[in-house]
Structure 1
Amino acid sequence: MNETRAAITVISSMATRHVLDDLADAYTQRYGQRVAIESVGGVAAARRVQEGEAFDIVVLAADAIGNLAAAGRIDAASRVGIARSGIAMAVAAGASRPSVDTEAAVRHAALAARSIGYSTGPSGAHLMRLFERWDIARSIASRLVQAPPGVGVGALIARGDVELGFQQTSELIGVDGVDVIGSMPNEIQAMTVFEGAVCANARAPQVARSMLQFMTQRDADEVKHRHGMEAAF
């Protein structure tokens, strides 16, 4: 590929930002094709594609990709699973770590926390359903802090805005000032599959398909694992 070609443009949610950055670097090194990735809040990313803003590739949670396919904003045949991620819990670096080994322990930790951070993405929606199921949503409502779109829960933890945070593992790993205390126990874990697809108005659809294929190869799995994610299937 010619290194002087215009960059492939990718829009994604924040959850896959670090994975995509590393995979894009590897793709450029191998093929000489530049890649420009913009990672924003998932709701904002989906809206921009829905409104017709031009990108070559979009990477979002599978349900959001499905909505874009139904609206004709992506090439549905190009959909591929990129990675999947579970939800982790975190506190400020050096802070006391609550037990989170069981569902009961996580419920207790939420009840005991002075403030709880959660996201606008799939992990936040799952957490709200858990709080309702545990019948604690009303009692902790005043202590819930939703991270603004495009802002990680880790940032809220690091600057002291929340005591306990829940978000995709990939968004909490490596954040300065944050200790990841564990993943959600299996009985309440929710795995989000992130998919990529070629946008309907892609400038370079063939090159975009090449990059999507590259991101699903087995030798890309190490990058995903490094950032707390797994291969999609």
Structure 2
Amino acid sequence: MSLGLMAGCATPSATHPTEIRVITSGGFSAAYDQLVPLYEQATGYKVITSRGASLGNAPDSIPSRFARGEQFDVVILADSGLEQLITQGKVQKGSRVDLARSMIGMSVRKGTPKPDISTVEALKQTLLDAKSIAYSASASGTYLSNELFPRLGVAEQIKGKATRILSERVGAVVLRGDADIGFQQVSELLPFKELEFVGPLPDEVQQRVFFSAGVATGARNPDAATHLIRFLAAPAAAPIVRSTGMEPAVAR
């Protein structure tokens, strides 16, 4: 598999640093965690990974880490967050590559009733009936709190029971019983095998977000950074990306 993924990708010169520093948000992590070992095996490069939310002001969010001056070679996050970093001059203009598109879904603990979110009206009723709701503090949660909840007319009714989750996966919060239902990118919910994945939001209110990669300004080895991004976006990587609940960008 690793050799197939490397087809057409010339390995960067070994005279440059052989470590590639990556900061990635959770949306692409499930695919990333499978692909990076293949890349390291095929190239001999060592990928050093940090993680943080695409948006928000949590101390470990990607915007906060760049604001503190932390240095990376590659950044992977929701496209809106990447565009902000490009505008701020923290990611090289013209280096953006779309990797995959993600949808928002919902999970509950196994053994509990499985709510209906198959229609917009059913989703609205599920939100009203839930005793506690957890949602991401990153791109998906920003959409839910700023757009979807007001659009459904439930923002005020659920204000006291809906919680933005900082610096933690929503699935972990639901798993330990701190929330009855949890919303996040599908690719971030599926790894929690102890949970029941209910499904994605209805098409009419779904938000499809591209997770994209770019070369950070000041990258120690921009050629290696570009090479890794090309590897993650390669058509041969699509089956792995698809298996994590995302739509590969190459499928467009």
Give the TM-score range, shorter chain.
Answer: over 0.9
Counterparts of 1:1-233 in structure 2, within 5 Å, are: 6-43=18-55, 44-128=61-145, 129-149=147-167, 151-232=168-249, 233=252
Helix, strand or coil for the counterpart of 1:78?
coil
Alpha-carbon contact 2:30-2:191 (below 8 Å) kept:
no
Code of the residue aligned with 1:139 in structure 2: it is Q
Code of the residue aligned with 1:169 in structure 2: it is V
Helix, strand or coil for the counterpart of 2:198?
strand
What's the offset of the Cα at 1:51?
A: 3.8
Distance 2:71 2:166 in 1: 24
Code of the residue aligned with 1:125 in structure 2: it is T
Superposed CA RMSD in Å reads: 1.5
| Number of aligned residues | 231
Deviations 1:99-141 (A, max 9, x none): 1111111111111101111011111122122111122111111
Over the matched positions of the two proteins, sequence identity in percent amounts to 33
Code of the residue aligned with 2:228 in structure 1: it is M
What's the offset of the Cα at 1:188?
A: 0.8
Distance 1:223 1:76 in 2: 28
In structure 1, the residue matched to 2:4 is none
**Which portions of structure 1, spanning 4 or more consecutive aligned residues, are displaced by more than 4 angstroms?**
none
Alpha-carbon contact 1:8-1:34 (below 8 Å) kept:
yes
What's the offset of the Cα at 1:36?
A: 1.4
Moved more, 39-48 or 132-141: 39-48
Deviations 1:55-100 (A, max 9, x none): 1100111111111111111111111001110001110112110111
Distance 1:50 1:230 in 2: 31
- TM-score w.r.t. length of structure 1: 0.94
What runs of 5+ residues in structure 1 fail to find an aligned partner? Answer: none
Distance 2:160 2:92 in 1: 43
Helix, strand or coil for the counterpart of 1:101?
coil
